[in-house]
Amino acid sequence: MNRREIVLASIVHVLGARPNFVKAAPVIEALAARGARQAVVHTGQHYDERMSDVFFRELGLPEPDVNLGVGSGSHAVQTAALMTGLEQEFIGRSPGLVIVYGDVNSTIAAALVAAKLGIPVAHVEAGLRSFDMTMPEEVNRRLTDQLSDLCLVTSPEAIGHLADEGVDVARCHLVGNPMIDTLLKNLDTFDTGAVRAAHGLPDRYVLATLHRPANVDSPDTAAVLVKNVHGVADLVDVVIPVHPRGRANLLAAGLDDHDGVHVLEPLGYIDFLAAVRGAAAVVTDSGGLQEETTILGVPCLTVRPNTERPITITHGTNRLVGFDELVPRTRAALEEGARGTSRTPPLWDGAAGPRCAEVIMEFLGD
């Protein structure tokens, strides 16, 4: 465990995986501008340098006050280790509020520990629902919202989901999407030409990210997915930065056995979004990328039967596809080209961080 000297802070942010870092950066910055005493606990759930440390540097996040170094493991093993380490941190720091982000195991672990210690919890990105309880993220989201004193909501339908589950609407605040704050702040740094040159990428390509357990954990399912990715590569080159999760199964299924498939190591935030910005289309099972392509105007095909972000379909560029639809839908997207959108989701305007800070400081009594 790497730690700096414990400094008492009124707010502790718990970050565990790369989507958390992107969401937290504008919230931390806005709270700092208001003079809040903050500490950042990095759980080490994403422990590869390309999945965590580079994000801190690129997003201007403060150096974590502690890195628990939890690493990987089964859901039970990882969550237990997270709770043990976080309990020690919360007892030592005595925060007035713990802020958690998204839906990873670090999120639910921190919410559970804080609730048991009587520490208020704020959940950034509350109320998203896929209504698919086979997804570990859905379990994490639902339980975290029940434990949270502040539910900071990115899209209007999420407030309805929370109300349906008995969450007091007085705890719910529509603040917008801090992930979009980060995107808009860095938009001018997304240099697609530089990324193409650095990685030898073609001028026209589809960018793919595939890591959901339902898609990659089973060798048989991964093989079917790879077959369809190869079908896309028959149409246009496919660039795929491979997430550590599922890497073995995807490569064992022959992912890189097609001349049109360009397998990359994970990219940092700036390079990844530059690659997304220059793509003819995106194939993904990620949550956040559905949001980022909505703002960038890049056609997005989400290889899932559902999404917890339906606003990316009604207001954005996103479409849900099954394995057997992937090739024809990609062909249609390539023919149609960038659709863009004139219906940006409400409050996805680059000011979600300050709105989060306002709600949080009011809750803490400034």
What is the domain partition of the chain in residue ranges? 2-177+348-363, 191-336
Mean pLDDT of 323-331: 97
Report the predicted TM-score, pTM, of the whole model to 2 decimal places. 0.94
- Where is 364: in which H helix or E strand? none
Q: Could you say which architecture CATH assigns to the domain 191-336?
A: 3-Layer(aba) Sandwich (3.40)
**Active-site option among 46, 161, 199, 211:** 211
Mean pLDDT of 276-302: 97
CA 195 to chain centre: 22
Q: Is the pLDDT of residue 209 over 60?
A: yes
Domain 2-177+348-363 and domain 191-336 have a common topology = yes
Mean pLDDT of 351-359: 98
Q: What is the pLDDT of residue 55?
A: 78
Q: Is the pLDDT of residue 248 over 60?
A: yes
Helix axes 352-363, 178-186, angle to 10 degrees: 140
Q: pLDDT-based confidence at 4, cuts 50/70/90?
A: low
Q: pLDDT-based confidence at 74, cuts 50/70/90?
A: confident
Q: What is the pLDDT of residue 57?
A: 86
Q: Is the pLDDT of residue 338 over 70?
A: no
Q: What is the pLDDT of residue 48?
A: 53
CATH of 2-177+348-363, one of 3.90.1150.10, 3.40.50.2300, 3.40.50.150, 3.40.50.2000: 3.40.50.2000
Q: Where are the extended beta strands (E) located within the chain? A: 2-3, 11-15, 38-42, 66-67, 97-101, 121-126, 150-153, 172-174, 205-209, 237-241, 261-264, 281-284, 300-302, 318-320
Average pLDDT, the chain: 93
Least confident of 200-204, 319-323, 338-342: 338-342
Q: What is the DSSP letter of 170?
A: G
Q: How far is CA 297 from CA 70, 278, 289, in A?
A: 37, 11, 12
211 tagged catalytic:
yes
Mean pLDDT of 7-33: 92
Residues in the chain: 366
User: Token pair of 70, please?
Assistant: 């939890």
